[in-house]
Amino acid sequence: MWLIALAGLAALAVVAYPPSWHVSRGLITIAHEGGHALAAVLTRRRLHGIRLHSDTSGVTLTRGNPRGFGMIITAGSGYVAPSLLGFGAAWLTAAGHITLLLWSVLALLACMLLMIRNVFGAVSLLVTGGAVFAISSFTKPEVQAVVAYAAVWFLLLGGVRPIVELQSKRRRRRAPDSDADQLARLTHVPGTFWVAVFLLVSVAALAAGAWLLVDLPALLPSVFAPV
């Protein structure tokens, strides 16, 4: 339990400290653009490519009905993808399926690599995938567990910060074409509403993921047990 807590604190420090966040935010962008891409495929939009940029931004290019249901789902999937991925990873980790988690991440990265359309994006995915492969193949199970817990916490916590940053940029009118503003134009519902939806989903995923990781149902009886 103390190891899980330390992994969570380490992930929180990385997300909260601006220099480390600037370096690690690209991992959240990979999950963000992967969410757009997966939603496009599931809604039968034509996926034309993904670009990841050195400023930690990204773009997913799709073709299809510009105002249909598929476009709404695709536009709304990016900001919630890291948190939902973190929740799924928390479920696998809590169930002890750490090797399955690592290989699933490799499979997802390989699928994204097929759709990458710029050099920086390809290098980012290859470096990330290489690190995951090395951990899953050449380290002890205990090390894999530590990395898995830290990565899950990072996804859960790191999924929240970009949403807060998004609303800050929107207040200063620096993100006129953000996902929330695209959804506002598609649905005629204010962009602030969609930011609130993103935040609600991410916070719920964080709470549920933390519940799974810490195993509160098993922990509480021991905490309140008579001495």
Domain ranges across the chain = 2-216
Cα-Cα end-to-end distance for the chain: 20
DSSP-derived 3-state class of residue 172: coil
Q: What is the per-residue pLDDT for 106?
A: 96
Provide the whole-model pTM: 0.92
Q: Taken in order 138, 120, 161, 212, is the CA torsion positive or negative?
A: negative
- Report how far residue 17's alpha carbon sits from residue 10's, in angstroms, rounded to the nearest whole number: 11
89-to-10, 132, 173, 196, 197 alpha-carbon distances in Å? 17, 14, 35, 24, 22
- How far is Cα of residue 117 from the mean position of the Cα atoms in its chain? 21
- Report how far residue 33's alpha carbon sits from residue 142's, in angstroms, rounded to the nearest whole number: 31
Residue linked to tokens 């097929």 = 114
Which parts of 43-140 fold into alpha helices (H)? 69-76, 81-94, 98-115, 119-138
Q: What is the per-residue pLDDT for 224?
A: 41
> Could you say which residues of the chain have pLDDT below 70?
216-227
Q: What is the per-residue pLDDT for 218?
A: 53
Residues found in the chain:
227
